[in-house]
Chains A and B, each alone.
Chain A
Amino acid sequence: MKNPFWDFRSVPAQRREIPLDRIVRAREETLDRIVQGYLQLVEEEVRDLVWLAEESKVERAYNAAVRSVGGLEYDADDIDEFCALLDSSSKIPYLISGPAGIYISALVNRAEDDRIVLCPKDYERSFHFLGYKLPEGKTLVLQGDVGDFTGAGLFGGCLLVEGSVGNWCGAGMMKGEIRVAGDAGQNTGEWMRGGEIHVDGTIQGVGTKFYGNTGYRVLFGGKIYQKGKLLVSRALVKGADQVSKGQP
């Protein structure tokens, strides 16, 4: 049918957008800025595209990520969208699991939402360091299996994993709680100083295992439960002082 308003095609009009369009565009802009922050982080921290999970590097990457997301306004949905984008989009040329997880953690920790739900089961790739330094008052729910260093450096937050975690879950955590519905890998709770880790499945290994010197586990505090039973706590730590001096 002929456009009955064609005579007004060149009449200036203040366009009134459907609110949904405005929301979608704002979300796209936010997402673009989040992606730019991530790419900048990767460029600064991972120049040769190889990244080692060393404490100093992790700390530096996290601080850079926090700076990067500092001026952004976003919410839990933006974080979820970014994760999906990291997993599949051509917008992001390279995914490095460590920095990606640290960046996501920075986003989670700086978000205004108290409870954030991410869905790793929907992702093909695995992210490390999810829940890194999760602060007090925040709850992060991870639906699905996650990678290594999940909940590392946890700082009072509550991390709920509806799946299994990789190695070094809760490594160096200070306080807070990690609950894993599935299994946990090696070195769970290594260097943890407080808080609790509850694993409903099987824990492959707790703390640092010294080959040839069985039974030594390095924890400076906190408790680890397996299937509801206390597996290890500060009281059970043996040789912690020795080990802490002798080990990195």
Chain B
Amino acid sequence: MTQDTNGALRETVHAIHRYIGENLYFSRPDLEIRGKKFNAALLLSLLTGLRQGKALIIGEPGLGKTTSAEYICSLLYGLPLGTVWASEVSGHPEQTEEKIIGRPDLGRLNQGEEVVVWSHFVLLPAKIVDEINRLPETKQSMILDGVDRGNWEYLNDAVINSEYCLFATANYQDGGTHTIIAPLIDRFDVMVESKHPGPNLAFHIGMGGSNGTGLRNEAMETELHRVLNQRIPYKDRMDQVEELSNRFGEAVERELGVRTLSRPDRETIRSGMNEIPLDVDTNAFLRLVLAELSFCSHYGQRRFHEGCAEGCHFTSYLCNTVRNCISNRFPSSTRALSQALAWFMGDKQVGLEHVKAILPFTLAHRIQWKEETLARREKESRRDPLPIYMAREAVREMHRRYIEQADRLKSALAIACRISDGEPLEPVEGDHPIYWEIRRDLGEEVLDS
């Protein structure tokens, strides 16, 4: 893989992003990174699709949550829109494993054979679960492994997706929605809101300005349907799907002037993203964030069922306002999406600007705030839904704290590195939880003072 290859692919991705923004998903910019303005839902969905991630898109009904995901799946994975629609899973209380994952081949079952007919949702690399929070909690567990690892099981058979991304949409709480269970929601890399585009763009949408019919291709959809329904090994089916995707891509490029990505393109992009290192500040800042979201001086770590100890003096840090402990999926999501953003912007390193832009969306659905904190802030003036707003504010606070002590923290980490290598140095002390955690990692159990 060369820089030229990645540069050309970056241009292709920019063209896809531009095409969707200008023709399919009209939206206002609500995210600024180094002077460039983006719509967070579109950008993060695009990066999630490239990164093989999982995005939870929230919002009011009819504001483009599902359609934006469909366009992205279609263009990034070279799938006609009809095929994407056909593979979507709808969340509703009567949903069954047989409709989501697979069912027995009834003809073969009559002959005494157990053969699984896998759903297109399972087979295709681009997956969409529409209205996931209409699935009752008990049924959400059915898709846990699949969402997490692309590992789908039915009867005694299994499919493990070698490449996949997943978009799930969720409406705000109403009479028909359920809470998304914590293990499932934690598996999403990002949560982003598909916002109302404003009256002027909405008027334009209403007048038929947004039209995705160019991504339909009935002949190709029929052919893909046939291939996906074949009773041949998963890999062989996917090879044929890839061939058809490439043909669809050629047709789209010819008719719409935008190129879709092939599987090797996506692999090259992912490889390019993986090679982008985090700079030292980003590395140190993320450690500070992780410390604030997991630290408890009294009980060792945050736990959902435990509050704060009386008299704890760490009142100005996030540990004091959150209930749960941040999961290990969080840094993984943040790294992956920050690398994707740096790649998208043509940067050679992941810097603080990238990670600051990504963090609110990797944190929003993972932080469970204390009720008093929520009550205190829910009426504040804002442009984001409360969880994203609070995550954005939390990131702003933590970033300020980092800037105040960046040199000290980097020194502390550098000295900790030398101590770990056996040098007789003294750890740097500080009041922030990260300094306490460094000392714990150096084998020193620090008790509350």
Contact present for B410 and A5 (CB under 8 Å): no
The smallest beta-carbon distance between A4 and chain B, in angstroms, is 6
Contact present for B420 and A11 (CB under 8 Å): no
Interface string of A167-187 (1 = CB under 8 A from B): 000000000000000000000
Give bound CA distance, A57 to B420, whole Å. 56
B437 (CB) vs chain A CBs: closest residue: A4
Give bound CA distance, A21 to B423, whole Å. 11
> Of A4, A11, A17, A18, which one neighbours B414 at CB under 8 angstroms?
A11
Contact present for B441 and A18 (CB under 8 Å): no
Contact present for B283 and A17 (CB under 8 Å): no
The reply on A15 being an interface residue by CB < 8 A is yes
Residues of A within 8 A of B428 (CB): 16
The reply on B416 being an interface residue by CB < 8 A is yes
Contact present for A5 and B424 (CB under 8 Å): no
Contact present for A8 and B426 (CB under 8 Å): no
The reply on A14 being an interface residue by CB < 8 A is yes
CB neighbors of A among B82-141 (8 A): none
Contact present for A4 and B441 (CB under 8 Å): yes
Contact present for A13 and B415 (CB under 8 Å): yes
Contact present for A5 and B414 (CB under 8 Å): yes
Contact present for B420 and A15 (CB under 8 Å): no
Contact present for B283 and A7 (CB under 8 Å): yes
CB neighbors of A among B386-430 (8 A): 410-418, 420-421, 424-428
The reply on A9 being an interface residue by CB < 8 A is yes
Contact present for B413 and A17 (CB under 8 Å): no
Contact present for B441 and A8 (CB under 8 Å): no
The smallest beta-carbon distance between A26 and chain B, in angstroms, is 15
Residues of A within 8 A of B441 (CB): 4-5
> Of A7, A9, A11, A16, which one neighbours B425 at CB under 8 angstroms?
A16
Q: How large is the interface on A (under 10, 10 to 19, 20 to 34, 35 or more residues)?
A: 10 to 19
B416 (CB) vs chain A CBs: closest residue: A5
Contact present for B416 and A8 (CB under 8 Å): yes
Contact present for A18 and B411 (CB under 8 Å): no
Contact present for A8 and B424 (CB under 8 Å): no
Residues of A within 8 A of B438 (CB): 5
B280 (CB) vs chain A CBs: closest residue: A11
Contact present for B413 and A16 (CB under 8 Å): no
> Of B410, B420, B421, B424, which one neighbours A13 at CB under 8 angstroms?
B410
The reply on A211 being an interface residue by CB < 8 A is no
B428 (CB) vs chain A CBs: closest residue: A16
The reply on A3 being an interface residue by CB < 8 A is yes
Q: Which of B283, B420, B441 has the most CB of A within 10 A?
A: B420
A6 (CB) vs chain B CBs: closest residue: B417
The reply on A12 being an interface residue by CB < 8 A is yes
A16 (CB) vs chain B CBs: closest residue: B426
Give bound CA distance, A4 to B416, whole Å. 9
Contact present for B425 and A8 (CB under 8 Å): no
B438 (CB) vs chain A CBs: closest residue: A5
B441 (CB) vs chain A CBs: closest residue: A4
The smallest beta-carbon distance between B420 and chain A, in angstroms, is 4
Contact present for A12 and B415 (CB under 8 Å): no
Contact present for B424 and A11 (CB under 8 Å): no
A4 (CB) vs chain B CBs: closest residue: B441
Contact present for B426 and A13 (CB under 8 Å): no
Residues of B within 8 A of A16 (CB): 415, 425-428
A21 (CB) vs chain B CBs: closest residue: B424
The smallest beta-carbon distance between A24 and chain B, in angstroms, is 10
The smallest beta-carbon distance between B276 and chain A, in angstroms, is 14
A7 (CB) vs chain B CBs: closest residue: B283
Residues of A within 8 A of B412 (CB): 13
Interface string of B427-443 (1 = CB under 8 A from A): 11000000000100100
The smallest beta-carbon distance between A98 and chain B, in angstroms, is 41
10 contacts between A and B (CB under 8 A): A5-B420, A5-B438, A6-B420, A7-B283, A7-B413, A8-B410, A8-B414, A17-B424, A17-B425, A21-B424
Residues of chain A having any CB pair with chain B under 8 Å = 3-9, 11-18, 21
New contact pairs (14) apart from A5-B416, A11-B411, CB-CB < 8 Å: A5-B417, A5-B420, A5-B441, A8-B413, A9-B417, A9-B418, A11-B410, A11-B417, A13-B415, A14-B411, A16-B427, A17-B425, A17-B426, A18-B426
